[in-house]
């Protein structure tokens, strides 16, 4: 008997995917333009995400979560991005980064304290990047000093997704700069900690409703009980979590490309030129067909990487490939759909321009395209 493809969806997964797609279309769709214009996620919408169980998909039921798989989380991210990539990244960071890090590296007291809240009403954020440490993530300068039973964190973080909404931050700081990356440690930092401030919110090209902010840590006291994983092993927490998170970004880009393509098809079916819908012109048909092929290929790559992760099999190369290719596809497809909309594609009246703006970040965050190419090359034996 042949082995089912890793990309095959079960009937339960199909039903789940359709249900969440309906939710995003009905509950999020009407809010997209307003949230993008105001550069802020609707608080009631975020509350609905928690009520639907979409912010704690992989949290075990014993902690109040949905007890789902990583693959299911990726399906949710995909469906959210087909409507609004800003909402998708909120769900993505929560599930593929924050929850996965705590599930894998957290102590039982940490899990008991934070997982129920993260499932119910608390947004989490992942604070690794700094002004001088982007692709070179371990060049971070945020400092952690031991003071008795506590740690004192001092420094700044930049480009932190969901910072405005988050109540919990996984902050990476160096406890011993002489040890280089082996001094990096992960800390669970509560938003209301003294000396902790969410600073400037970036005014961005795309995913504008998603908050991206600076964090200021001015002598923040963190109890030793809030060290996530062993001291000095923060680099492993970061690497292993980001490897998984890249699959989530791939899912976001697939959803975005699907949403852009759907908008292009709808427009081509209704826009008339020379006495007939432009969908009847072969040039338009071929552009849409090519886009559909690329979206399907990207989707299968993302699904494969997610299935491998859930199966406990090696997935690093597949995750890098999925993230790289899906972000490329999202950029190409979104750009093509602007072209198909013509002048209307350059206005905010139609969704094409927003998908186009939102697509660019896929090639940047959670590992740039160049970093993905380097990872793939290494896996091929290049160094």
The pair phi, psi for residue 127, each rounded to 5°, is -110, 90
Question: 79 and 24 in contact (C-beta within 8 Å)?
Answer: yes
* Helix axis angle, 316-341 to 352-359, nearest 10°: 150
Q: Is 366 marked active-site?
A: yes
Q: How many CB atoms lie within 10 A of CB 339?
A: 13
Q: How many CB atoms lie within 10 A of CB 348?
A: 12
Residue 185: which residues within 8 A CB-CB, separation 6 or more?
Answer: 144, 151, 172, 173, 174, 175, 227, 229, 231, 232, 233, 234
Q: Which of 58, 78, 318, 366 is catalytic?
A: 366
Q: How many CB atoms lie within 10 A of CB 65?
A: 22
β-strand partners of 171: 127, 187
Nearest CA to 174 out of 158, 165, 185 is that of 185
Nearest CA to 375 out of 234, 239, 201 is that of 239
Burial 100-133 (b: 16+ CB within 10 A, else e): bbbeebbeeebbebbbbbbbbebbbbbbbbbeeb
Q: How many CB atoms lie within 10 A of CB 185?
A: 24
**Quick one: tokens of 205?**
């090209």
The pair phi, psi for residue 224, each rounded to 5°, is -60, -25
- What CA–CA distance (Å, rounded) separates 219 from 178? 21
- What CA–CA distance (Å, rounded) separates 235 from 280? 54
The residues that are catalytic are 366
């Amino acid at each position: 008997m042949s082995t089912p493809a890793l990309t095959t969806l079960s009937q339960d997964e199909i039903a789940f995917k359709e249900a969440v797609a309906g939710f995003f279309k009905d509950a999020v769709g009407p809010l997209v333009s307003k949230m993008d214009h105001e550069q802020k996620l609707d608080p009631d919408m975020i509350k609905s995400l928690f009520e639907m169980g979409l912010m704690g998909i992989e949290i075990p039921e014993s902690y109040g979560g949905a007890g789902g798989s990583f693959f299911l989380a990726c399906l949710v991210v995909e469906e959210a991005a087909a409507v609004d990539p800003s909402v998708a990244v909120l769900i993505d960071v929560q599930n593929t980064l924050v929850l996965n890090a705590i599930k894998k590296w957290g102590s039982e007291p940490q899990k008991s304290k934070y997982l129920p809240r993260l499932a119910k009403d608390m947004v989490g954020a992942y604070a690794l990047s700094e002004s001088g440490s982007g692709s070179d993530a371990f060049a971070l300068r945020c400092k952690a000093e031991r003071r008795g039973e506590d740690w004192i964190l001092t420094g700044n973080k930049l480009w932190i997704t969901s910072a405005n909404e988050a109540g919990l931050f996984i902050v990476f700081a160096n406890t011993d700069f002489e040890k280089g990356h082996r001094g990096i440690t992960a800390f669970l930092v509560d938003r209301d900690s003294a000396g902790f401030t969410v600073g400037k919110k970036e005014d961005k090209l795309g995913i504008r409703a998603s908050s991206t902010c600076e964090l200021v840590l001015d002598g923040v006291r963190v109890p030793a009980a809030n060290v996530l994983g062993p001291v000095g092993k923060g680099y492993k927490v970061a690497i292993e979590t980001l490897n998984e998170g890249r699959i989530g970004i791939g899912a976001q880009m697939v959803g975005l490309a699907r949403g852009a393509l759907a908008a292009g098809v709808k427009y081509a079916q209704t826009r008339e030129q020379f006495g007939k819908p432009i969908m009847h012109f072969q040039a338009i048909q071929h552009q849409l067909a090519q886009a559909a092929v690329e979206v399907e290929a990207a989707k299968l790559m993302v699904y494969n990487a997610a299935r491998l992760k859930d199966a406990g099999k090696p997935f690093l190369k597949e995750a890098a490939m999925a993230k790289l290719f899906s972000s490329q596809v999202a950029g190409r497809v979104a750009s093509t759909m602007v072209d198909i909309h013509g002048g209307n594609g350059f206005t905010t009246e139609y969704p094409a321009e927003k998908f186009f703006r939102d697509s660019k970040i896929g090639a940047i965050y959670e590992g740039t395209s160049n970093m993905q190419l380097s990872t793939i090359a290494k896996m091929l034996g290049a160094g």
